[in-house]
């Protein structure tokens, strides 16, 4: 009798499935990929620490933070991750943040904006003598393949460029652990980099926007968003080309009431044969190595 606890799996937790639009039911963009006792946080949108708490992961348990791009909705709460990990750590391990070029400048400015708070806390707590320890690594595609993402842990992480122009650069991340694999794409239109990175992955987490609803809105600023996001149909096309196991949607624009995501699946279905997860915040998907079989979700 096989013991399921021996299966190597990566677990995806959709922490925040919202977008820039404030939503009482959806935190901002953030996805957790866990495996081998590690927790890698992809993006840090609105409310990320609340959702991490609900998932049983404290700020000190985060192995790395990986930013897909520098749009504000994907990093609004990075300051909360930095500060709370620092204040709640005894002492806190350095926080490693990876992201495309520009990330170091953003983090430096974030730390500068926290300078008053940092000085108050150091003045007040005798055992708090150093400011938050943060290490930034800027990443991008390699010269002839995915780029390495040198963060702590045993899960192998690589990245490729995505296409979210004029937001440049932007990247997607791939996580590999003993045959189990997960790719998390940020905002992007279909592109070669994502096709390459996602090839054969057990699961692809993809942000989606309903162009059938947004394109007709009489507000130019909403219409503008159609040209740098993927529709569910396009995300499904990417999943099919790459031959991924399970397609996981997140970052719904416009957001639907929780539990009413079926129309997204129906739009995608003609373009992808595999399981399509349309989860709300805190939805989990477990991804096993192919030999052990793949579970579509939980």
Query: 38 or 160, CB closer to Zn ion?
Result: 160
Contact 105, 95 (CB under 8 A): no
Token code pair at residue 10: 């990566």
Q: Which stretch binds Zn ion (CB under 5 A): 101-109, 182-190, 194-202, 252-260?
A: 182-190
Smallest separation, CB 42 to Zn ion (Å):
12
Residue among 245, 240, 130 nearest 179 (CA):
245
Smallest separation, CB 96 to Zn ion (Å):
22
Instruction: Report the DSSP beta bridge partners of residue 249.
Output: 206, 278
Instruction: Specify the residue for token string 């490693």.
Output: 96
Out of 3, 23, 43, 73, pick the active-site residue: 73
- Tell me whether residue 280 is one of the annotated catalytic residues: no
Instruction: Specify the residue for token string 């000085």.
Output: 119
By CB under 5 A, residue 39 contacts Zn ion: no
Contact 205, 184 (CB under 8 A): yes
Residue among 11, 12, 13, 73 nearest 281 (CA):
13
Q: How far is CA 158 from CA 131, 177, 185, in A?
A: 30, 12, 12
By CB under 5 A, residue 286 contacts Zn ion: no
Q: Which stretch binds Zn ion (CB under 5 A): 70-78, 84-92, 116-124, 130-138?
A: 70-78
Q: CA-CA distance, 298 to 286, in Å (whole number)?
A: 7
Query: 39 or 71, CB closer to Zn ion?
Result: 71
Smallest separation, CB 200 to Zn ion (Å):
26
Other Cβ atoms within 10 Å of 163 Cβ, number: 18
Q: Which stretch binds Zn ion (CB under 5 A): 48-56, 66-74, 89-97, 104-112?
A: 66-74
By CB under 5 A, residue 187 contacts Zn ion: yes
Query: 73 or 295, CB closer to Zn ion?
Result: 73
Q: Which stretch binds Zn ion (CB under 5 A): 8-16, 138-146, 176-184, 186-194?
A: 186-194
Smallest separation, CB 230 to Zn ion (Å):
11
Kindly tell me which residue out of 40, 46, 71, 271 binds Zn ion, with binding defined by CB under 5 A.
71
Q: CA-CA distance, 150 to 156, in Å (whole number)?
A: 9
Q: CA-CA distance, 101 to 203, in Å (whole number)?
A: 26
Instruction: Specify the residue for token string 């639009």.
Output: 21
Q: Which stretch binds Zn ion (CB under 5 A): 68-76, 81-89, 154-162, 266-274?
A: 68-76
Smallest separation, CB 268 to Zn ion (Å):
19
For helices 78-88 and 103-113, give the axis angle rounded to 10 degrees: 60
CB-count burial class (<10 Å; 0-12, 13-18, 19+) for 104: middle
Smallest separation, CB 188 to Zn ion (Å):
9
Per CB under 5 A, residues contacting Zn ion are 71, 73, 187
Question: Which residues are known to be catalytic?
Answer: 73
């Amino acid at each position: 009798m096989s013991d399921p606890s021996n299966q190597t799996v990566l677990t995806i937790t959709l922490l925040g499935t919202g977008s820039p639009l404030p939503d009482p039911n959806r935190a901002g963009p953030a996805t957790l990929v866990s495996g081998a006792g590690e927790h890698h946080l992809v993006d840090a949108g609105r409310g990320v620490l609340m959702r991490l708490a609900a998932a049983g992961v404290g700020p000190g348990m985060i192995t790395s933070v990986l930013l897909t791009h520098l749009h504000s909705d994907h990093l609004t709460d990075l300051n909360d991750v930095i500060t709370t990990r620092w204040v709640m750590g005894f002492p806190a391990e350095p926080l490693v943040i990876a992201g495309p070029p520009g990330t170091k400048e953003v983090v430096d400015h974030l730390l500068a904006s926290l300078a008053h708070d940092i000085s108050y806390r150091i003045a007040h707590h005798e055992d708090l003598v150093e400011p938050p320890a943060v290490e930034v690594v800027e990443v991008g595609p390699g010269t002839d393949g995915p780029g390495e993402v040198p963060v702590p842990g045993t899960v192998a992480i690589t990245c490729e460029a995505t296409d979210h122009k004029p937001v440049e650069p932007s990247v997607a991340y791939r996580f590999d652990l003993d045959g189990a694999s997960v790719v998390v794409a940020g905002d992007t239109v279909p592109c070669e980099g994502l096709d390459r990175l996602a090839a054969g992955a057990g699961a692809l987490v993809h942000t989606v926007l309903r162009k059938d609803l947004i394109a007709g809105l009489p507000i130019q600023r909403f219409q503008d968003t159609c040209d740098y996001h993927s529709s569910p149909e396009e995300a499904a096309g990417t999943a099919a080309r790459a031959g991924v196991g399970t397609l996981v949607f997140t970052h719904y624009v416009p957001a639907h009431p929780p539990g009413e995501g079926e129309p997204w699946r129906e739009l995608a279905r003609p373009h992808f044969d595999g399981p399509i997860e349309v989860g709300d915040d805190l939805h989990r998907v477990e991804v096993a190595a192919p030999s052990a079989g793949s579970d579509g979700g939980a």
